[in-house]
Chains A and B, each alone.
Chain A
Amino acid sequence: MIGGLALPVGRRTSRLRVPVTIVVSSVFILAVVVGAIAGPTFIHTSTSAPNPLSVGTMPSHAHLFGTDELGRDVFARLVAGTTTALTGPLIIAISGFAVSALVGVAAGYFGGALDAVTMRFVDFMFALPALLLAIVIVTVVQGGYWIAVLVLAVLNVQGDIRLVRGAALEQRNLVYVEAARVTGISRFSIMYRHIARNILPILLADFATDFAGALVALAGLAFLGLGAEPGTPDWGLMLTEGQTVLFENPFAALAPGIAIVLLAVSVNLIGDWLYERRASAIGGR
């Protein structure tokens, strides 16, 4: 409808106001990233040495979030856990981004057989309970964190492909694409330079959704003992292990849990915001 007149998306000048929730979310994500990069330089409390004299103590001056079932400092482990919390989800989100940008755009632009095959594949993948499948595969091949990341990366692409393909399909009939075609610009260039750039907000919103989903999924696998090695400071693992001292120091389990929720919510909020901003820029729903 109004799509025919769609302007290129990034009209930033007219929408400078950023909601408070987005600012807060960005600050939190930044804090996690800083924790992952600079954490080891600033926090010298050991994350692995057990201390049988202070097992499951409540938060105190010496231990900000108290200690866990082996007497290790929960805060230090929480900061150390930022690395695995970010790495796996980043890899999964990047692979989703790349695959959907390549395959999704091509399927939407070309249509026909390529599109049909892609969509059948996507429908099939959608019918699978991904996390359940990941649980089984990681168990059967007896893999750890990296196998989990690999499996989830594969089981995650279908949603991305579907969304990006839909967006590319919408763009295909717009005037600028027709103009580009008439001017003799190559199909490759139309797809990956023009269309991909115009649907970039969707790709980014998708990236955010993937990241949050992967964070939760990986934490879930670790929670079942199917991810990071026992003993590593990993949020999902801390959650399981901390359960044993839930009575003495609830923060041992709740702190990593809250960290997972906050990171997932922050990333999702930013993703939703990017998506809606793009939708209103086009004038669609």
Chain B
Amino acid sequence: MKRQSGLAGYALRRVLLVVPLVLAVTIAVFLLTSLVPGGPVAALIGGHATNTAEVNAIRARYHLNESLVSQYLTWASQVLHGNLGRSIFSSETVASEIRSRLPVTLVLNGVGIFVALLVSVPLGSIAAARRGGLIDRVAVGVGVFLSSAPNFVMAIALVYLFGIRFNILPVEGLGSGLASEAQHLVLPCVVMAVAPLGFMTKIVRASMLEQLEMDYVAFARARGVGRWRLYRAYIVRNALIPIVTASGLLIVTSLTATVFVEDVFGIPGLGQLLVSSVTNSDIPVIQGLVLLVALWVIVANVAIDLVYVAIDPRVSFRRLR
């Protein structure tokens, strides 16, 4: 094993592998317009053009008469300059639409994942350590129920409970001012945390249990290794690997959850932008969002793989694809 060149070399190769992936993604996003019934023209103006002159003008303006390859290159160079086109619906540029909505979505995702990990890691660990006990049963219940309950159902239930029944929290929009915004984001953040919390509790519990049953744990116990040290230095370190992988998945799945949460609570974020562009068939905006999400997913996956190496140098280099 070439352990010496390992880390840096691995990181470099892992990052280089991203290049073809990004290429594939951009081509797919570019071709999205051809999938639309009616072709690129219909996609670009949002409907079927009946006027031939208009169609020809659009074809000329967007270089649709050139070969697909040169069309792609034109499009890609524009994207590289931050030009993602204009929304059919609002006439704003796609880039500015995305920029103004990105922060709130990031807050929702970040807080949701953070809260989920904050609760699920201790809960799952204690459950595993005291298998069959009360906390374990609670953890199993939480795991199954919360990870099965769809976030849009959860969101509507919370809107009803806190917004209508008890009327103690705002459930619509963002409000203005920091205090008001924070108040408006309480319920959405709770919903964002719920499903990951259930999922992670399951994962943490399972991976801790798996380690607890290993022979090395029995040996360590027999050798008289202290309980605290056993957990900290042996079990948690080993159990961390599946936990990190699963947390990485959260970065991707939470993005989907935002769509529903922002829809129910009327929060002007990227999810709402996607829903409105979907209802308006606003293809340029959809293209921009898909591109953003795809890059986000790719970066997240690379980051997870690199964190992997940091935690466990043992498996990393063999795992290289």
Contact = CB atoms under 8 A, between A and B. Distances in A.
Give me the 8 closest cross-chain CB pairs, A-B, nearest first. Answer: A257-B153, A264-B148, A216-B150, A139-B278, A265-B148, A131-B256, A261-B149, A132-B256
Contact of B35 (A131, A140, A253, A264): A140
A127 B152 contact: no
A116 to B, nearest CB: 9
A133 B272 CA distance: 16
A92 interface: no
A239 B153 contact: yes
A285 B150 contact: no
Contacts of B249: 126
Given A139-B278, A264-B149, A246 B157 contact: no
Given A129-B252, A132-B259, A253-B156, A265 B150 contact: no
A147 to B, nearest CB: 12
Interface of A: 120, 123, 126-132, 135-136, 139-142, 212, 216, 219-220, 223-226, 239, 243, 246-247, 250, 253-254, 257-258, 260-261, 264-265, 268-269, 272, 285
A46 B213 CA distance: 57
B32 interface: yes
B144 A224 contact: no
B278 A226 contact: yes
Contacts of B26: none
A254 B249 CA distance: 29
B85 to A, nearest CB: 15
Contacts of A139: 278, 281, 286
22 contacts: A120-B321, A127-B298, A128-B252, A132-B256, A135-B274, A139-B281, A140-B35, A140-B283, A140-B286, A141-B35, A142-B36, A219-B150, A220-B260, A223-B260, A223-B263, A224-B259, A224-B260, A247-B164, A257-B153, A258-B153, A261-B149, A265-B144
A129 B253 contact: yes
Nearest to A247: B164
A128 B249 CA distance: 10
Given A140-B32, A224-B259, A250-B160, A261 B286 contact: no
A142 B36 CA distance: 8
Contacts of B281: 139, 142
B3 to A, nearest CB: 24
B210 A285 contact: yes
A225 B152 CA distance: 13
Q: Which of A130, A247, A264 has the most CB of B within 10 A?
A: A264
Given A132-B256, A265-B149, A239 B156 contact: yes
B209 interface: yes
Contacts of B274: 132, 135
Contacts of A247: 164
Q: Which of B32, B36, B149, B152 has the most CB of A within 10 A?
A: B152
Contacts, number: 106
Contact of B159 (A212, A226, A246): A246
Contacts of A220: 150, 152, 260
B115 interface: no
Interface of B: 32, 35-37, 144-145, 147-150, 152-153, 156-157, 159-160, 164, 209-210, 213, 249, 252-253, 255-256, 259-260, 263-264, 274-275, 278-279, 281, 283, 286, 290, 293, 297-298, 301, 321
Contacts of B264: 243
B276 to A, nearest CB: 11
Q: Which of A139, A253, A258, A265 has the most CB of B within 10 A?
A: A139
B218 to A, nearest CB: 13
B297 A224 contact: no
A136 B149 contact: no
A139 B153 CA distance: 22
A224 B156 contact: no
Contacts of B279: 225
Contacts of B260: 220, 223-224
A141 B249 CA distance: 27
Contacts of B255: 129, 132
Contacts of A219: 150, 152
Given A129-B252, A225-B279, A136 B157 contact: no
Contacts of B152: 219-220, 223, 239, 257
Contacts of A216: 148, 150
B91 to A, nearest CB: 20
Contacts of A140: 32, 35-36, 283, 286
A225 B276 CA distance: 11
Contacts of B144: 265, 268-269, 272
